[in-house]
Amino acid sequence: MPSFDIVTEINIEEVRNATENAQRELATRYDFRGVEAEFEFNKDCVKMTAEVEFQVDQMMDILRNALSKRQIDPRAIKSGTAEASGKTTSKTVNFIQGIDTPTAKKIVKLIKDSKLKVQASIQGEQVRVTGKKRDDLQQVMQLIKTSELEQPFQFNNFRD
């Protein structure tokens, strides 16, 4: 019986590369000359530090542009709030990995409401969809792509 998995994954190496590119662009920007500002990549997040909150917001735009050049979906970015400490302001940007339970339930409900002859089940941080026909599975993929859910989805592990 054909099946596939709906997941949310991003390539952390591409995030690291985009962060390094953003740091290089920051060094060449005229409006950041003589300003203590930097991007710091950790395992699952990027920390931006600058002197003023408005500079951190500009750095967020630089990071978004670098991520989009690396084919990272902007919906995978979860931005925190700016925190001031001493003479610097910092903001942490996290990235969505996996599908949380409420979103997975929304996906299953969306699939069931579509009246397609498929079954959807939540398995940890992914949703497995099985059906008798390959065409039904492709309709589910199209349904998920056009849905108004707030995170990017990938389809993998397609089995016939």
**Mean pLDDT in order along the chain per 10 residues (160 residues):** 89 92 91 89 90 90 93 88 89 90 90 88 89 88 87 86
Would you state the pLDDT for residue 124?
A: 86
Using CA atoms, how far apart are residues 97 and 106, in angstroms rounded to an integer?
Answer: 17
Segments making up each domain of the chain, as ranges: 3-8+98-159, 12-95
Q: Do domains 3-8+98-159 and 12-95 have the same CATH topology?
A: yes
Class of domain 12-95: alpha beta
Q: According to the model, what pLDDT value does residue 146 have?
A: 87
The model's pTM = 0.81
Tell me, what's the pLDDT at 35?
86
CATH top-level class of 3-8+98-159: alpha beta
Whole-number Å distance between alpha carbons of 130 and 138: 11
- Find, among 53, 47, 58, 73, the residue nearest to 25 by Cα: 58
Give the residue carrying structure tokens 């978004």: 64
Give the pLDDT score at 44. Answer: 84
Per-residue confidence (pLDDT) for residue 24, from 0 to 100: 93
pLDDT of amino acid 34: 86
> How many Å apart are CA 146 and CA 118, to the nearest integer?
18
CA distances from 101 to 106, 124, 126, 156 (A): 9, 8, 9, 19
